[in-house]
Amino acid sequence: MRGYAACGAHSDTNERLASSPPACKFAVFRPIVLMSVLRPLVTVPMVLAFALGGCGRSPVELAPFILDQLEMEEDPVAEGCQKVDYLFVIDNSASMGDNQRRLIESFDTFVEGVERTQQSLESVHLGVVTTDQYVGHDRAECKALGGMVTRTDGHNSSKAACGPYTDGHNYMTEADDLGPSFSCAAQVGTTGSSQEWPLAALTAAISDEMTAVNGCNEGFLRDDALLVVVIVTDEDDPGPVDHRYEALVEAKGGRADNVVVVGLLNEPGTECSLSGHAREAPELFTFVNSFQHSFVAPVCGDYSEAFTRAVSVVQSACWAAGP
């Protein structure tokens, strides 16, 4: 919920309100609280009468101000999550072979767990991107950071044409057999750059350019779907992360509560081995935990256990969604 509209919309009314007695100011603002709590049960005329009674101001004078304050955006995501958009951001650098394998083996635990707990779920979009400009792309519009994987190539990859998928997109839907399709796309291999850009890949994947008509990820991101992001990497993002957070929230219409972020990474103080290029990920740790609905687990750990816990985070976000 966006909250109350800017008070400056009716500056003249604001000035007159400022000069009003304290009792009148309270009379104007108390219905805002009333509406926020009892919105389904009250009407605007009831609220205006409640606000203006005994205030000494005319309804014509103060109604525009009150109506501005009561202007709220309804949550586009239906209660219980009828639609979910999954975006997996997978590190394809040299050290990630075992982690990709664990991810694929544990995929059903996560996605089937969400489907099992959300009986109202009707539609799924699921896309895979890598942390660099992926070598396997064979379409011009996808040969950029954030292009969704439909064909894999390189060392330790599935070396297969995984898509376009059943509905003709570069992402999977409920029409696909998600297990085999994800296994094909998620085994992106280990030929990627050692300079990973997980958050740049994430925000590029959901950008207007990528999701617009004729874009690589056309139609992936939906206003009325819960967005679930899963980041899998053993290194950190170059940072800073603030503008990445803002870009993601903006893409979801300003509603951070309609985003779930799961990070399988090396959190600060990790017990995972930091050999080779692997290192702690304080930037990613900060990014993931900046969202209300989020979860961090070790990239070297038991993914089935991590995804079982992540299902409950998605479930909480779905319970919180709706009017």
Q: What is the pLDDT of residues 58-105, one digit of tens each?
A: 555 555 555 454 444 577 786 668 999 999 999 999 999 999 999 999
| Residue 169 neighbours by CB under 8 Å, 6+ apart | 125, 163, 218, 219, 220
Strand partners, 157: 188
Domain ranges of the chain: 7-70, 83-320
Higher pLDDT, 100 or 139: 100
Which residue intervals of the chain are DSSP H helices?
11-18, 22-38, 44-52, 59-70, 97-117, 178-186, 198-205, 208-211, 242-251, 282-289, 303-320
Contacts of 4 (CB under 8 A, 6+ apart): 32, 68, 69, 70, 71, 72
Q: What distance in Å separates the CA atoms of residue 216 and residue 264, rounded to the nearest whole number?
A: 26
Q: Which residues contact 146 (CB under 8 A, 6 or more apart)?
A: 129, 200, 201, 202, 203, 204, 205, 206, 207, 210, 216, 217
* Average pLDDT of span 302-306: 94
Q: What is the CATH number of domain 83-320?
A: 3.40.50.410
pLDDT computed for residue 75 by the predictor: 72
- Bond prior to 240 in cis (omega within 30° of 0): yes
Q: What is the mean pLDDT of residues 260-274?
A: 96
Which range of 48-62, 90-104, 131-145 scores highest in mean pLDDT? It is 90-104
Regarding pTM above 0.85, the answer is: no
* Stronger pLDDT, 237 or 3, i.e. the higher one: 237
Residue in 131, 227, 123, 104 with CA at minimum distance from that of residue 169: 123
